[in-house]
Structure 1
């Protein structure tokens, strides 16, 4: 029988209880962090999570991390599940944070702030709390190039394909070094995880029926794949699904008008993805309302930059290396023209700043040509129609397979947000047309595109 020992780095818990917030903030405040095992008793025996309660317990652990410990600590806490001796065990891996952490219930008081001494949670004195808090104010933002990825089994074929397409020549031996995909200690960093062929980053496009969030319609997810690809697919989906084109035909003339400006949307979306504070584990998202779309990203105007400088396009990237990769791959603003472009079209009111988020608001104009009298000489020849660009699922799958030959059926369904039936149908059509061929076994094979 496997036995565990409780030490200064390992806390054993037979069941989830009210002590978890204290144990989490304790390890966040302790050099080297620690690990909490739920489903292992104090004498080291694996007892497991109560049968049928795993998902519920995982959700409760997540709620504790996000709601009961301050300040936000999700970037330093990783929760996962393992089966040990045929029993479910929840493991919480905690790294030392860069701030003073405390329980929301007690605030920054000795009862709310602890550090680990042996197997005990030691209360901090008021003097220690003050000293740690002041010290935390001077710590710079975490660098995603120095944050270690929790996964080290990463590949980068999709990223390489983007670079090749944009004439970036690289040597496989120096590829990871030149793009700074590893930390100074040699481990894959969080930026590498974001750009890897497979990851667990999800970008949401949420749709609401009204001008607020009172009536939710649906959510489309893009992710599990290289950020560049997921970002581009989310953009394409929004443009094809929501940016209706009105066409007005007259004698010898043709006018087109869209619901929103594509260039402004693309610049806002690329900026949100590259300048997002990824170190805080908050992903950018797109919210569709009946009268507008909003792009939300984690962050704020950089310190020592005025709003005037921001609107003028003064560049101060949050993630400098990621910014360079975006530009090399053809995404993002060039010469700081992204923000000025958006402001020139929609005005400064397009931006809304809060303490932690930047929102770009792009209004919809669904009036078509209602306010345009057109050619008065030929009023009957004037037509107003609308068109939407349907998705070509078959081509999307083909392009996806060209970018990553090892994708599984589930990967394709998740990335393209399609059903299993749709995936199988379109893959069969590609096979029948001789454009793709599967080599090897179902589990370890790959797709060959022609």
Structure 2
């Protein structure tokens, strides 16, 4: 490609960086769609490129960060692209949520407020400025006071920043927008603090519905960054690897779910979740699929078409900025691009209040799992299982204590129950302890293994 198409209401070309850059950014922030600015592209779309791209990126970021109010960190991204062997700078500007945005030098006045009209920009009138200000989002996380009283500590967050090469100073909290306008720690600070009441739920079910819960974990009550890392580790364990044989008799290592898409879906759910209603993201793991659900639906003003066209509008720009600083996200819209590269639009279920991403496992994995488990159960278990163990397997559901299982079977002698039911079921790989390292723990429970689940299905409703 040796030429871009043409400028429009969402696209601006600049052959070189000029003093008008901040005006162009302000104009896009004040629109309903946002836009893209390309430095190194002539007005006619010809690629001319730029010199010293790395230095130019820093200059552009500083201009936007320091010369525009309210702060728009998290609503823009700056990165280089290669076209025709030349480097250009791409600036992605999202629609702002605290309009009107304005040039710091001129304040909230017609001289400082601009709007994108067609391929140009124009000053906003006083009435336009007043109308935008009256509808400015008041319930953004930055404007909500932290519900936690007393001192907030951020040791975990600071460690993550230091590990990523940041030099911290006394302005650390202010730089991350952790205060409301009246100087109180805000909801962003609450989410990022070492202690809070927010947790990400991870539930695991034995089947394809919610009838048989076998795990119910919560990851949180700590910095949202730390909680995110914990859930990512959990999903890495659950996203099992299997070997796929291709037509050319090649053996390929695959995962149940595309690793990159799964990671991006979780981070998107966490960053874009509406925390103002205190509803955290939820991960649910079924026998045939994994779902990630965030609260809030699509960001107000973002249509489904724009969502699938990867036009990003951060709901929580402060969180987006932190996740980007810590390299959990790369740039605006990059996560959706990676998901849609591996999956179709149909994996998203969008409603007024929720956005669910549903990953069905690879068909080859499900087929291998079915064949492997059935074979193991048929050859190793069916002919050996005692009547007592069969009775135990049939009544197992989710995670249960020994007393619960014993009562369901109507047994009074605990030692007999342990020797004739629990012990052989565990030895045959049908039953497992939830805390295997502490078999005598007061919190010990028992659940069926994959073999046990298949064997229970084999038994059906017959009494043995």
> So what's the TM-score if we normalise by structure 1?
0.49
Which structure has the greater CA radius of gyration?
2
> So what's the TM-score if we normalise by structure 2?
0.48
